[in-house]
Amino acid sequence: MTVPRDPLELLVVAHDEFGRRLRLVGAGDWRRPTPCSEWNVRALVNHVVGANVRYRLLLRGASTERVEATRDVDHLGDDAPASFIATADGVVACFREEGVFDRIAHHVAGDRTGRELLSMRILDSAVHAWDLARAIGADETLDEDVVAFLLAYTAGLDLGPRQHAFAPAHAGLPRTASRQDQLLHRLGRSPIGTEEVE
Decide if 136 is inside a domain. Answer: yes
Number of Cβ atoms within 10 Å of the Cβ of 26 = 9
Instruction: Identify whether 158 is part of a domain.
Output: no
How far is it, in rounded angstroms, from Cα 172 to Cα 133? 22
Residues of the domain holding 62? 7-141
Q: Does 146 fall in a domain? A: no
pTM score, whole prediction = 0.88
CATH of the domain at 76: 1.20.120.450
pLDDT in tens, 106-120: 999 899 999 999 999
Q: Give a yes or no: residue 167 inside a domain.
A: no
User: Angle, to 10 degrees, between the axis of helix 114-136 and the axis of helix 41-59?
Assistant: 170
Tens of pLDDT, residues 63-85: 999 999 999 999 999 999 999 99
pLDDT in tens, 142-184: 999 999 999 999 998 765 544 444 545 555 677 778 999 999 9
Using only C-alpha atoms, what is the Rg of the chain?
Answer: 16
Residue 192 falls within a domain, yes or no? no
Q: Which DSSP category does 112 fall into? A: E
**What is the rounded average pLDDT for all residues in the chain?**
89
Give the total number of structural domains in the chain: 1
What b/e sequence results for 67-91 when a residue is b if at least 16 CB atoms lie within 10 Å of its CB, and e otherwise? Answer: beeeeeeebbeeebeebbbebbeeb
Give the pLDDT of residue 6.
94
Residue 123 lies in a domain: yes
